[in-house]
Structure 1
Amino acid sequence: MDVPSAADDAPDALFNQSLEKGIAVLRAFSAQRRTMTLPEVAEATSITKSSAQRMIYTLEKLGYVKKHPRTKRYQLALKAMQIGFNYLAADTLIDVANPFLSELTNVTGETTNLTEPDGVDMVYVARFVCTKFLPIHMPIGSRIPMYCTASGRAYLAALPEDESRLLLEGSERVVHTQYTVTDLGEIEARLAQGRLSGYASNREELFIGDMTIAAAVVDGERRPVASVHVVAPTSRWTLAEAEQRLAPAVIDCARGISNSIRTLG
Structure 2
Amino acid sequence: MTTDDKERPDPLFNQSLEKGLEVLRAFSAVHRTLTLAELAALTGMTKSSAQRTIHTLERLGYVDKHPQTRRFRLTPRVMEIGYNYLAADALIPIASPYLSQLANASGETANLTEPVGLEMVYMAQLVTAKHMPVLTPVGMRIPMYCTSSGRAYLSTLPDERVRAMLEASARTPRTPVTLTDVETIFERVVACRTVGYACNEEELFLGDMGIAAPVVNSRGEAVGAVHVSPPASRWTMVDAQKKLGPLVVECAWAISRSIAH
Compute the TM-score of the two structures, normalised by the length of structure 1: 0.96
Q: Secondary structure at the match of 1:246?
A: helix
The corresponding residue for 1:201 is 199
Deviations 1:26-81 (A, max 9, x none): 11111111111111111111111111111111100100010001111111111011
Name the count of aligned residue pairs.
Answer: 261
- Output the CA distance in 2 between the equivalents of 1:134 and 1:30: 22
- Output the CA distance in 2 between the equivalents of 1:60 and 1:50: 15
Structure 2 residue runs of 5 or longer lacking an equivalent are none
The corresponding residue for 1:154 is 152
Deviations 1:233-263 (A, max 9, x none): 1111111111111111100100111111111
Deviations 1:179-231 (A, max 9, x none): 11111111111111111111001111111110111000011111111000012
- Output the CA distance in 2 between the equivalents of 1:37 and 1:235: 41
The corresponding residue for 1:40 is 38
Q: Secondary structure at the match of 2:134?
A: coil
Deviation, 1:159, is: 1.1
- Output the CA distance in 2 between the equivalents of 1:223 and 1:165: 18
The corresponding residue for 2:175 is 177
The corresponding residue for 1:226 is 224
The amino acid that maps onto 1:10 is R
Deviation, 1:5, is: 5.5
Give the counterpart of 2:112 among 88, 111, 114: 114
Give the counterpart of 1:250 among 245, 248, 252: 248
The corresponding residue for 1:10 is 8
Compute the TM-score of the two structures, normalised by the length of structure 2: 0.97
- Output the CA distance in 1 between the equivalents of 2:17 and 2:118: 24
The Cα RMSD (Å) is 1.1
The amino acid that maps onto 2:139 is G
The amino acid that maps onto 1:97 is A
1:191 counterpart = 2:184: no
The amino acid that maps onto 2:156 is A
The amino acid that maps onto 2:71 is R
Give the counterpart of 1:125 among 123, 126, 130: 123
The amino acid that maps onto 1:210 is D
The corresponding residue for 2:86 is 88
The amino acid that maps onto 1:226 is G
Structure 1 residue runs of 5 or longer lacking an equivalent are none
The amino acid that maps onto 1:206 is L
The amino acid that maps onto 2:204 is L
- Output the CA distance in 2 between the equivalents of 1:7 and 1:104: 49
Deviation, 1:6, is: 3.6
